């Protein structure tokens, strides 16, 4: 009798009509109907469970696994982490360590990993006070924060914290880039034009620098002095968006010559945003 029940359960679990019905239902329920693939799942417990279920379902279709993915899809939709374009502006922040790859070749993996642990212990708590770490990227990270001011304050604090670290006689230098836009959220990650711009703005920054895009600059008010970067075009960034360097007012006042010889300027009044710098 037990064997008969197991065979019956197996037939139901692999019934193509039930599988087709569940696929139809998933396409009409809230959330991402493809939830479970690598692009839609984050590195949290729910995301890892969904990824495992999707992998097993791809190997052998299963009604029970489809039911599980359907439940997770709907739960994620109501939790607000399904695929969507953000209705509100978010600040996207990228950081990395200048020259870290070359330094790793000199000191070896053990010292480099120790340095990354110390950097993470300094930087990630600062980010989490204001926003969310989206993912770690080798010697840096990507984060989202609610405003341009939050992102710049976190970036400057992280830069200062890392400058205080010395590893194997070497001073580490963090650089960061910030862009404000409406990135597309998919699972626990963010994608799209605004994410790409933030990454490119980071590429412009030098060791120990925090750079922002011109739309971000316009949102900062007059709290941070800004300097134009010497380059006029940034690869991968629309021509109407230019990079600017920001710093603490006290630190900026100590600098005799801004980057590129450009004078420090304060962000324009929001009412005057119609013209480009």
Q: Where are the domains of the chain?
A: 2-79, 86-272
Q: Quote the CA–CA distance of 209 and 84 in Å, as a whole number.
A: 32
Lookup: tokens for 176: 């960061």
Q: Tell me the helix, strand and coil percentages in the chain, rounded to 5.
A: 50, 20, 35
Do the Cβ atoms of 242 and 214 come closer than 8 Å?
yes
DSSP state of 277: -
Per-residue pLDDT at 46:
57
Ranges assigned E (strand) in the chain: 84-85, 90-97, 132-137, 140-145, 166-167, 170-171, 174-181, 184-186, 189-191, 210-213, 226-228, 243-246
Per-residue pLDDT at 260:
37
Per-residue pLDDT at 28:
75
User: Each residue of 156-204: pLDDT tens digit?
Assistant: 999 999 999 988 888 999 999 999 999 988 777 888 999 999 999 999 9
Assign 275 to helix, strand or coil. coil
Q: What CATH architecture applies to the domain 86-272? A: 2-Layer Sandwich (3.30)
Do the Cβ atoms of 32 and 185 come closer than 8 Å?
no
């Amino acid at each position: 009798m037990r064997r008969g029940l197991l065979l019956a359960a197996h037939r139901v679990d692999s019934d193509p009509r039930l599988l087709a019905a569940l696929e139809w239902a998933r396409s009409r329920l809230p959330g991402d109907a493809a939830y479970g693939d690598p692009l839609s799942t984050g590195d949290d417990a729910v995301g890892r469970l969904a990824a495992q279920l999707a992998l097993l379902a791809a190997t052998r279709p299963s009604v029970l696994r489809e039911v599980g993915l359907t439940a997770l899809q709907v739960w994620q939709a109501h939790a607000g982490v399904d695929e969507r374009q953000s209705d509100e502006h978010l600040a996207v922040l990228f950081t990395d360590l200048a020259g870290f790859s070359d330094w790793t070749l000199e000191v070896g993996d053990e010292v480099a990993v120790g340095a990354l642990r110390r950097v993470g212990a300094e930087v990630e708590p600062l980010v989490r006070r204001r926003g969310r770490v989206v993912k770690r990227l080798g010697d840096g990270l990507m984060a989202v924060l609610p405003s341009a001011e939050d992102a710049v304050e976190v970036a400057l604090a992280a830069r200062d914290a890392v400058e205080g670290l010395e590893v194997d006689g070497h001073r580490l230098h963090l650089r960061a880039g910030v862009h404000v836009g409406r990135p597309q959220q998919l699972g626990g990650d963010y994608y799209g034009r605004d994410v790409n711009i933030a990454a490119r703005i980071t590429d412009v920054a030098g060791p120990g620098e925090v750079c922002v895009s011109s739309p971000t600059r316009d949102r900062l008010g007059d709290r941070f002095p800004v300097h134009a970067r010497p380059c006029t075009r940034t690869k991968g960034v629309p021509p109407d968006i230019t990079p600017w360097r920001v710093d603490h007012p006290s630190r900026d006042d100590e600098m005799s010559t801004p980057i590129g010889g450009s004078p420090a300027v304060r962000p324009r009044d929001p009412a005057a945003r119609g013209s480009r710098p």
